[in-house]
């Protein structure tokens, strides 16, 4: 449209020049008739007059300028911007420290949780939350009638089993004595029969007694010897069987005693005691309240120091490891931290890290206090730095508007950013120290290529 208007304006100006030179009739006049008088002859006009040459030259220059502007001119879109509504930052070179801000909660170094080993009803509370307790101090007492009755029944069963063991041992001893008595009596009979048999054998050699009488005494002696051997074997086997029975009874008694000890221990666990000295920071119990087995009823904090537990976005999970340094400010002073433990489990897009104090702890720090920690992710190094700003949300760090030396025009330029911290970006390509960049939001600029700054 602008080119058409310019061309029409030049055509009107050329027509005006020709009318002034007389080569065209005045505007609105009829063309003059051609007359011939006598010997008058028609004079042929020159085709390339100086005016016509000038006119054609001017038209050629005009069209050349139009074509040049169309092919090589600056066709970039422009937008006028009020310089007071934008933020201009200068690119600098300096020390760069990559860190991320994280929120940390102050916790004691060691915490012991109190659980109800056995369920029951809260009968007595000895210590209120907030008090300092020593190891072994009773905190509360639970009542459990079923557990106490079970302990009594197991104790009675143990006594019965112990009586059975004693009776078995007594019977074993009596049987052993009876067998021993029978064996002694049998040995006595064998000894007497042996003497009789030997006398009869001597008389039989001399043929002083009959053969039948001799064999009778011999059979009686051999019979008593076999009975003796059988009695010895019986005594041995009975002793072994009785010993096995006693061992089984002893094992049963021992097992029942162990069970009884466990039940008694559970009865004793109805009195919840402090496992370690410290401060009873919480106690979730009221008189008459029922507690289930393994239910948490409170916790004790060891008053020897504090740590900071921070929540970190899962984006940094591969870069966080023990030994990273951190820093926070409190009451006008800076304090150093170091990561000691990284919890790998990710919950709701974040994971946890424990940091301990590297040096002195703040005096007035309290459990549950929130701290703003600057967690360092790398070593200090020199880099080209660009201040952070709203431009990053629009460009993703791929391009920015750079001001010229006069500070009147800002042109779009491709760049590449690297690491970052809450204050600056690390510039890898596209910017040099000393250049000025618009770092405020680009939301109102659209797809404009150049910004014209107005004061």
Please check the confidence at residue 354 and state whether its pLDDT lies above 90. Answer: yes
Going by their DSSP bridges, the two strands 78-82 and 450-454 should be labelled as: parallel
Domain 114-142+271-298 in this protein, CATH class: mainly beta
Reported as type and span, the H/E element at residue 302 is none
Question: Which CATH fold topology does 146-268 show?
Answer: Helix Hairpins (1.10.287)
**Confidence at residue 36, expressed as pLDDT on a 0 to 100 scale:** 45
| pLDDT value at residue 309 | 92
CATH code reported for the domain at 78-97+381-454: 2.40.420.20
Q: What is the pLDDT at residue 26?
A: 58
Q: What is the pLDDT of residues 75-134, one digit of tens each?
A: 557 778 888 888 899 999 988 887 888 999 998 888 888 888 788 888 888 888 888 888
Contact 358, 338 (CB under 8 A): yes
Q: Are 351 and 317 in contact (CB under 8 A)?
A: yes
Q: Which pLDDT score is estimated for 154?
A: 79
Q: Are 350 and 313 in contact (CB under 8 A)?
A: yes
With b for 16 or more beta-carbon neighbours within 10 A and e for fewer, the 193-224 pattern comes to beeebeebeeebeeeebeeeebeebbebbeeb
In this structure, is the dihedral angle defined by the CA atoms of residues 79, 80, 84 and 88, taken in order, positive or negative? Answer: positive
How crowded is residue 147: how many other Cβ atoms within 10 Å of its Cβ? 18
The yes-or-no verdict on residue 43 having pLDDT over 80 is no
- Above pLDDT 90, what percent of the chain? 11
User: Nearest-CA neighbor of 227 among 185, 172, 176, 174?
Assistant: 185
Contact 339, 323 (CB under 8 A): yes
* Phi, psi dihedrals of residue 345, rounded to the nearest 5°: -70, 130
Q: Where are the domains of the chain?
A: 1-24+51-73, 78-97+381-454, 100-109+305-376, 114-142+271-298, 146-268
Q: How far is CA 71 from the centre of its chain?
A: 60
Helix or strand (DSSP H, E) at 398 = none
Run of H or E including 24: none
What CATH class has 100-109+305-376? mainly beta
> What span, in angstroms and rounded, lies between the C-alpha atoms of 239 and 226?
20
């Amino acid at each position: 449209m602008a080119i058409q208007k310019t061309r029409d304006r030049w055509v009107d100006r050329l027509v005006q020049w020709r009318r002034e030179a007389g080569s065209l009739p005045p505007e609105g006049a009829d063309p003059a008739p051609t007359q011939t008088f006598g010997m008058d002859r028609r004079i042929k006009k020159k085709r390339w007059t100086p005016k016509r040459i000038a006119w054609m030259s001017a038209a050629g220059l005009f069209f050349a300028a139009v074509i040049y502007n169309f092919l090589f001119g600056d066709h970039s879109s422009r937008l006028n911007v009020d310089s007071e509504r934008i933020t201009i930052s200068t690119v600098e070179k300096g020390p760069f420290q990559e860190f991320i801000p994280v929120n940390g909660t102050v916790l004691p170094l060691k915490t012991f949780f109190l659980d109800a080993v056995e369920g029951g009803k809260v009968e007595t509370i000895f210590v209120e939350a907030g008090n300092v307790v020593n190891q072994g101090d009773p905190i509360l007492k639970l009542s459990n009638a079923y557990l106490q009755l079970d302990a009594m029944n197991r104790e009675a069963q143990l006594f019965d089993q112990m009586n059975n063991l004693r009776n078995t041992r007594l019977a074993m001893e009596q049987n052993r004595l009876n067998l021993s008595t029978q064996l002694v009596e049998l040995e006595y009979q064998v000894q007497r029969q042996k003497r009789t048999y030997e006398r009869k054998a001597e008389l039989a050699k001399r043929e002083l007694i009959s053969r039948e009488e001799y064999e009778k005494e011999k059979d009686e002696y051999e019979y008593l010897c076999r009975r003796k051997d059988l009695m010895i074997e019986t005594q041995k086997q009975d002793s072994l069987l009785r010993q096995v029975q006693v061992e089984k009874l002893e094992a049963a008694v021992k097992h029942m005693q162990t069970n009884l000890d466990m039940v008694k221990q559970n009865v004793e666990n109805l009195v919840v005691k402090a496992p370690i000295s410290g401060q009873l920071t919480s106690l979730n119990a009221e008189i008459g309240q029922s507690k289930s087995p393994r239910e948490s009823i409170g916790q004790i904090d060891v008053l020897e120091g504090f740590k900071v537990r921070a929540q970190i976005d899962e984006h940094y999970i591969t870069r966080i490891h023990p030994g990273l340094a951190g820093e926070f400010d409190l009451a006008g002073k800076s304090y150093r931290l170091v990561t000691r433990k990284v919890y790998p489990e990710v919950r709701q897009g974040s994971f946890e890290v424990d940091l301990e104090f590297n040096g002195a702890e703040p005096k007035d720090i309290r459990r549950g206090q929130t701290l703003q920690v600057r967690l360092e992710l790398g070593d200090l190094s020199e880099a080209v730095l660009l201040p952070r700003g709203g431009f990053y949300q629009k460009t993703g760090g791929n391009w920015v508007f750079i001001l010229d030396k006069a500070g009147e025009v800002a042109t779009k330029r491709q760049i590449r950013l690297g690491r970052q911290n809450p204050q600056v970006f690390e510039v890898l390509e596209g910017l040099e120290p000393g250049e000025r960049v618009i770092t405020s939001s680009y939301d109102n600029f659209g797809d404009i290529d150049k910004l014209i700054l107005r004061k």
